[in-house]
Structure 1
Amino acid sequence: MNRLEGKAVLVTGGSRGIGAAVALRLAEEGADIALTYQHGAERATKVVEQIKAIGRRALAVQADSAVPAALLAAVDETAETFGALDILVNNAGVFPTGPLEEIGPTEIDRTLAVNVRAPFMASQAAVRHMGREGRVISIGSNVAERAVFPGLALYSMSKTALIGMTKGLARELGPRGITVNLVHPGPTDTDSNPAHGPNAAAITGFTALGRYAEAAEIAATVAHLASSDGQYITGAVIAVDGGFTA
C-alpha cells in the first residue's frame, strides 16, 4: 500500500518499541520518516537503515523532548530536509512509577515536560508547516482510563492531559483541514514491557483478549489515522488495548 506516498513524517521517540514500529509502518505506506531519539544512536541508525531499505528517505535527530529548543529544532529540521511536514506522531514518553510519597519535584517536572509539554510544543511547531490534510497523532496510554496498579498516578495524570490537548486542538485545527487524534495502547510487547516479563501474567489478566499487543498492531491504527482513510476522524481517543478498559 502507498496511502502515504509523498508524505513527510516526524515520529518523536522513534528508535525503539512502538515508535520504531510506527516509523517503519508509515515508511511501508510510502512516507519519508524523521525520528528523534534521546539515547541509543545505534538503535536509531538501525531504524533509519530499515526505512531506507524500503526505499524511503529517513533522518534520525538526537533530541531530548524535555528540552524545548532541541525538540523544536527537530521539527524544523524535518520540514527543511523533506521540504514539508505532513504528519507528526507524538510518541516520546517517560514512564515513572512509585509510591506517591517518594515522587520528587524533579521527576514530576521531567514527566510533565516530556509527556505533556513536548507533545503540545511539537504540535504547535509542526502545524506551522502543515497544509490541509495534516495529521497530529499522539500516543497515550490505557492507564489514562484505568489505572489498575498502584504507583501510576503521575504517569496516568500526564497521559490523561493528552485527552484534553487532543480535543482542544481538533476543534482549533479542524477548519484548517488538520486532524488531531490520540491512540491509547494497552500492554504492548516492547523491551521496556516484555510480554514474558515478571509482571506480564498479571497485566495480561486485565485484557479481554488475554495477551499483549505487538507494536505493529498499534502502528496499524496510527497508519489508518495518518492516511486519507482516516480523514473524517478527529478529536478521537482510540483504545488499542485488547479490551483492557472494556
Structure 2
Amino acid sequence: MRVVVVGAKGRMGRETVRAVLNDPELELVGCVDRTLNDVAVSAVLGHESNGVKFSNDLVKTLIDTNADVMVDFTTPATMKANIDKAIELGVRPVVGTTGMTPEEIANWDQACKDRGIGGLIAPNFAIGAILMMRFAQQASRYLPHVEIIEMHHDQKLDAPSGTAIKTLELIAQERQAVQQGHPNEHETIPGSRGGEFDGMRVHSVRLPGYVAHQQVIFGGLGQTLTIRHDSINRESFMPGVVMSCKQVMKYEGLVYGLENLLD
C-alpha cells in the first residue's frame, strides 16, 4: 500500500513517517508539508530520501506517486481541503485531525462511496483510548452522572478534544440525559463548570508537558469510578495509524472512529 503523509514535518507527521517506513506492508511514497522540500528531507526521515517524494503540493504528490492512502495530521482549516482533494483523486484518507461537523463527515462518507473507496477519521488512534471510550459507554448504563476532564499539550487548537466529544457521543447513546449538579448552581467565574453536552460536563486543560490524556469520572451513591487513559508519547498512536492504512483498503465509505475497525 502506497502511503503519502501530509503534515510530515509536524510531531505526529514525523512519527507517522517512521511507522510507515518500519511496516513491511506499507510503502512511504510521499511527504507533504507547507514548507517541505528536498532540503528538509533529513529533518523528517533522518536520512536521504531513498525515492520518497517531498513536496508542498498535495495534489501533484498524490498524482505523481499513485498513492493508495493519504494520512493527514495537519490543522482543521487545512485538513478539510485535503480530504476533498484526496477523495476526488481516488486516494483513501486516514485523518487524525479533528474539528469537522457531522454534516461534513456525512458528505465525505457519500463522496467515498461514490468513488468506491474507504476512508477513516479518528479522534484518537491509541488503542487504549478506544478501550477507555468503550468502558465509559458501558459504565454509563449504571452510573449516569459523568464528567470528563481532558488534558492536552498547549499547542492543540480545538477544545474540547475530538476524543472527549466522541466519548460524550457514545455515552449519550446509552443513557438518558439527566440533571447533574444542583439545579440552582451559579458560576462565580463563568465557564467554571465546563462545557455542557446532553447534561454532561467536559473540561479542557491545555498545558506544556502533556501529550494526550483523558479521565471520565462517574459519580454514584457513596462511590466514584474513574476511567483514565494517558498517551505518554506520540508513538502510542502509531499501531492504530498503521492498522487504519491497511483497513481502509478493504471497504467503501468513510468511517468515523477507530473503534469501528476493532472486533
Per-residue CA deviations over 1:74-114 (Å, capped at 9, x if unaligned) read 3223x2xxxx32221233225xxxxxxxxxxxxxxxx3xx1
What is residue 72 of structure 2 aligned with on the other side?
Answer: 90
Quickly say closer, same or farther: Cα 1:183–1:59, change in 2 above 3 A.
same
Quickly say closer, same or farther: Cα 1:189–1:205, change in 2 above 3 A.
closer
Quickly say closer, same or farther: Cα 1:74–1:29, change in 2 above 3 A.
same
Instruction: Tell me how large the CA RMSD over aligned residues is.
Output: 3.8
Q: TM-score scaled by structure 2? A: 0.52
| Bigger helix share | 1
Q: SS of the counterpart of 1:184?
A: coil
Q: TM-score scaled by structure 1? A: 0.55
Compare 159-168 and 19-28 and name the one that shifted more. Answer: 159-168
What is residue 34 of structure 1 aligned with on the other side?
Answer: 30
What is the Cα deviation at residue 223 of structure 1? 0.8
What is residue 8 of structure 1 aligned with on the other side?
Answer: 2
| Residues 168-183 of structure 1: pairs in structure 2 closer than 5 A | 168-174=110-116, 178-183=117-122
- The answer to whether the aligner puts 1:74 opposite 2:61 as a matched pair is yes
What is residue 136 of structure 1 aligned with on the other side?
Answer: 93
| Residues 142-221 of structure 1: pairs in structure 2 closer than 5 A | 156=99, 158=100, 163-174=105-116, 178-185=117-124, 192=155, 198=207, 204=213, 206=215, 208-212=227-231, 214-221=233-240
Q: SS of the counterpart of 2:120?
A: strand
Give the number of equivalent residue pairs: 174
| Partner Cα distance (2:108, 2:32) in 1 | 21
- Same amino acid, percent of matched pairs: 9
Please, which runs of 5 or more residues in structure 1 have no aligned partner?
A: 1-6, 64-69, 95-110, 142-155, 241-246
What is the Cα deviation at residue 47 of structure 1? 1.9
Quickly say closer, same or farther: Cα 1:239–1:124, change in 2 above 3 A.
same
What is the Cα deviation at residue 219 of structure 1? 2.4
What is the Cα deviation at residue 224 of structure 1? 0.6
Higher Cα Rg, which structure: 2
What is the Cα deviation at residue 34 of structure 1? 0.9
| Partner Cα distance (2:111, 2:19) in 1 | 25
| Bigger strand share | 2
What is residue 19 of structure 2 aligned with on the other side?
Answer: 25
